[in-house]
Structure 1
Amino acid sequence: MNSQETPATQSAETSDRPAGTRSWLREHSELGVSVLLFAIGVLVLTDALTMEVDISQRGPIGPKTVPITVGVGLLLIALLLAVDVLRGGRGEAEGGEDIDLSEPSDWRTVLLLAGVFLGFAVLIGPLGFPVSGALLFWGAAFALGSRHYHRDPLIAAVLSLITYYVFDNLLGVPLPGGPLMGVL
């Protein structure tokens, strides 16, 4: 301790260190995205390399090709992003959005949407996709502010039936039809 340093100045110096660390982390917060991309890339590569492949059905491009390519791409993007952030690159600010970042979150809308999704998950088994999907579409429109009480349920029903038909008949993805599909 120098003769000019007092315990008060020494404690002020030590309290600045965490603030400096926090400041550095705040300025380089995009590194979190890089770490997340890297972890997902490692997970994808690990999964792809441990995949068991039936050799008899092997063509010129095996089933491991796409996951390995995606995993390597994720690792490469994570590395390039980390280098860019450490060199001083920053993501563009939210200039294109029509939101005021100083306003608080709209928790009513968030909770209504969460309730709609939870209701859909509970009702899809007993009511089937066409009915529960219509309730999902209508409930989401209502939660997001639409108040057309005659038009919205009709649009939701048509959208739900089209979605059911496309997935069940055209794409071959079976969805629960529910009691109304026996009638239709």
Structure 2
Amino acid sequence: MTITDGSTPAGPSGLRERLKGRSELGVSALLAAAGLLVVVDTLAESGGGAAGSDPLGPQLVPLVLGGALLLLAALLTVDILRGGRGEAEGGEDVDLTAPMDLRTVGTLVGVLVATAALIPVLGWPIAGTVLFFGATYALGSRTLARDLAIAATISLATWVLFDVVLGVDLPGGPLMGVFG
């Protein structure tokens, strides 16, 4: 098929060209997916109708929020397709041309995985210390003693607040005998 007027044929490459520079459509898709998930899950949980003597039922708020997400997704999509663009942040001091620091990202991912694995074994106070200390180290801090002390204090304080004060059961690990 030969096109002589300079236009591109409709198809995958034509669609790609039309969508070029419209990455905000990803946000629209995310909003639509979240709204659809909320609406479908709410209707599935409630059986599609109001419960008991309450004419509105407990599903009203999730349905309104899900509907609002779907409406926002539609409005954002229309705006983007009409040429609307998000305004760049003026205060950011980030070089967008610089490559991603895979070492830092990989270290942070490793710290998160280690924390998730350590919580059931050693409890939140120790796993939280690993999380907070590992994050500060991955992000460049090299004052190890201070960072470790702050991480342990924050982790222990959050565990005491949730487990002892609020009654939210977090695994204490070796500290269960001390406070439990």
Do these two structures clear the TM 0.5 threshold for a shared fold by scoring above it? Answer: yes
Query: Are 1:42 and 2:51 matched, yes or no?
Result: no
Q: Deviations over 1:99-128 (max 9, x none)?
A: 111111101101111111111111111110
| Partners of 2:42 and 2:62 within 8 A in 1 | yes
The corresponding residue for 1:127 is: 122
2:73 is matched with which residue?
78
Q: Displacement, 1:34?
A: 1.3
1:106 aligns with 2:101: yes
1:118 aligns with 2:98: no
Match of 1:4 in 2: none
User: Which of 150, 153, 163 lines up with 2:148 in the alignment?
Assistant: 153
1:93 aligns to what SS in structure 2?
coil
What is the distance in 1 between the residues matched to 2:162 and 2:177?
A: 18
Tell whether the 8 Å contact from 2:123 to 2:173 is kept in structure 1 after alignment.
yes
- Shift in CA distance, 183/138, structure 1 to aligned 2, threshold 3 Å: same
Within 5 A, what are the aligned runs for 1:57-68?
62-68=57-63
Letter in 2 for 1:127: L
Structure 2 unaligned spans of 5+: none
Shift, 1:27, TM fit: 2.8
**Do the aligned partners of 2:32 and 2:69 also contact (CA within 8 Å) in 1?**
yes
Q: CA 1:178–1:59 in 2, change beyond 3 Å: closer, same or farther?
A: farther
Question: Aligned pairs, how many?
Answer: 176
Alignment of 1:183 with 2:167, yes or no, is no
User: Bigger shift: 133-142 or 22-31?
Assistant: 22-31
**Structure number with bigger Rg:** 1
Letter of the aligned partner of 1:119 in structure 2?
A
Identity of counterpart residues, as a percentage?
A: 54
Structure 1 stretches lacking a partner, 5+ long = 2-6
Amino acid at match of 2:15: T
Q: What amino acid sits opposite 1:38 in the alignment?
A: A
Task: Give 1:28's aligned residue.
Answer: 22
Q: Cα RMSD over matched residues?
A: 2.8
Q: TM-score of the superposition, structure 1-length normalised?
A: 0.82
Q: Which amino acid aligns with 2:31?
A: L
- What's the offset of the Cα at 1:89? 0.7
- Partners of 2:72 and 2:34 in 1: CA distance: 11
